[in-house]
Amino acid sequence: MLSGTLPSLDTVKDMYYYGCEALVSAGYEQVTRHNFEKPGKRYLYDYHYSLATPLLGLGANSISYYPGFIYKNLPELDKYQKAVHKDMLPVKSGFDLEANGEEANFYMVKRLTYMKIHKSDFKKRFGTEIEKYYPEQVDALTKAALVEVDSDYFKLTDKGKYYTALVKRCFFNPLLHKRQFDRYGKKSVPDRETQVKASVK
């Protein structure tokens, strides 16, 4: 019988890890914080999107990506259909990642969905190591034991997998953080390490 009381955050975390262990024991592979797949099976759209592979999104609310640009289709089905029937691009909005200096941030956020980044791929794309490009973020996240960095990978720890959303937020544009803090009346945006410590329980 339901008690009407929500479980504590510690209980929710324990339930999450228990569920992960049960699925892995049953032969599934954990590929994101909340997605598990049978070996050899993969949701290719999301996977290639995370790799920043050029993609054409078809359908309402779909997202398309071309190196340096990202577009989102109209979310309303009727408006999407009308645009298609009129031979118009059914695009609601687009963003120039390169012009706004967001290409590396976009890459980090998308790749971290799959919990690890091959360091050589980052260097090939952006000309330097992740640790040099994002020294503040890497320092704060490693101190909090949310990520680990070896010679090949920048990857989430088991603890970091639970806090995937927090880790990804560390690579958002600083202006977005400022807008969020301004909205809630904060006088200043704390440094990255303080933000991480305040969010990890």
Per-residue pLDDT at 152: 95
Planar angle of CA 140, 144, 150, nearest 5 degrees: 80
**Which residue numbers in the chain have pLDDT < 50?**
1
Per-residue pLDDT at 28: 93
Per-residue pLDDT at 15: 94
Give the separation between CA 85 and CA 149, rounded to whole angstroms. 50
Per-residue pLDDT at 187: 55
Per-residue pLDDT at 167: 92
pTM as predicted: 0.76
Per-residue pLDDT at 197: 59
Query: Over the stretch 166-186, which tens digit does the pLDDT of each residue have?
Result: 899 888 866 655 555 565 565
Q: Identify the CATH number of the domain defined by range 104-199.
A: 1.10.10.920
Per-residue pLDDT at 40: 84
